[in-house]
Structure 1
């Protein structure tokens, strides 16, 4: 009986031990740590989004440098034009007249220079020599008359003095007219300058001839005055005639010497300067005439036209907008200072437009403005994105959304 109880007790101990061990394993025994796998870094593209507007690669607003009345409009909005093509013309009658006047002055200056460079012709020298001989003959006659006179004035002497004065006055008038013609100047269009082609050798010769003619008139008048005063003045009149004839002879000799010696270096330089000045006047007048026609600076299309024939336009007022729409760009409008530091030239971009739903265009960053602008209280920078696969439906000014891939 007692052994049976011992067996039952032993069995109970075993059962309790098994239950205790199982509970320990379930709730109290430490468990082995399971290794945690290393995190996997996944590469993803980071983008910066901005809004912008579609623009042509090149565009310009054209205006006249000088105002005027529009004579002819040669284009219409939407027209394709080539570089150098005339677009609009102003009335240019006065400008053409100014060119013609400047060209005439240039021709005169060139002719004067050519004459100076060529020197005197043989017939001119021969004429000057004949003038010297004639002046010497007049001087000899005046000396003979002075030597012959011994008494008072006669009616013949007074008549002779009057004739000499009349002849001297005629010579004086001719010399004055010639001097006025030689010294005539022409105004340069669109400036306060003048061109005087006759300055130099022709003016010096004309001035000397005029002085001699004036001296001759004074001498002839004095001789006539003396002759009419009485017999005692005849010799003085004769002496005045000798003086006048001497002046005429000296002038003729000076003219001959000048022709034989040719122009001086100073005279040649002055003639060349006159040609250069006249050429500058022609260039200025021609440039003003050319400015009366508005020319296309590059190939493109007429995006906007703001003028009609007959309208008066002011200088610098834009009247034509020209654009090269063969390629397009997008300029951002709201890229912040926080984002712009991550943008670099040549980064790729995707472009979407409200006007073309479902269409995504590829682009490339081509420019970043170095200076910021403040828009609606935010500091922004303008980034230019070239559209690499332009759509034919793109238009100037369309709103675009740009996503720039910065990583």
Structure 2
């Protein structure tokens, strides 16, 4: 099944089929002319022998054309089993024809003619057996190929699953900010192997907003932001989150407020830069 087989062209198939049809017509004509001779009361031996020779020649031509067609069609890889099944049917037809010829000759043929016919029947039966064996072999090859394909697909699925288990996938698209581990280092479960950054937007978290100020701020308030690294520049943003849990910083109760900068910021900002925010608590 894995062998490289050339596909039979449609022209070759058509030519072989035309040859087979011509041979079939020749055989039918010879058989038609031969049967009246056998059925006559006293057929002339020379006439009978000549007709027998013509019939044999037509049969040989038919078998040759059939073999040629089978050989052409055998080039189609996908049709191996179909071709084998067709070969069985052809052999069965040949055997039946030979048996019919033998039955006809037994009614008044010569011993040597009977022997020839019997040999033809035996040959046809052998052809049937051989064709059946080829069909069984083709079916076995198909089953083996299907089993091999199933096994290969299972192996591929297992390999893909193993590969997926060995691949780390980030929860979002972004930029690798740092890799705290080294190649060859043994990493325990839960230990970070890299830090991801989403550079599409920037956020600022307060560190000293006291409990007295946080109560005057609401989500959505506009914020002005200045950054030490860019003196003279003011950036705009909005309050996106106010922590519900406090922190104790130098004895003061503070709450973390998160501010999202507008997306039109062109400055080359970096993580950890110092920023100052101004919030108008009179907003509503």
TM range (shorter): 0.3 to 0.5
- Which entry has the higher C-alpha Rg, 1 or 2? 1
Identify the structure with the greater strand proportion: 1
TM-score calculated relative to the size of structure 2? 0.41
TM-score calculated relative to the size of structure 1? 0.29
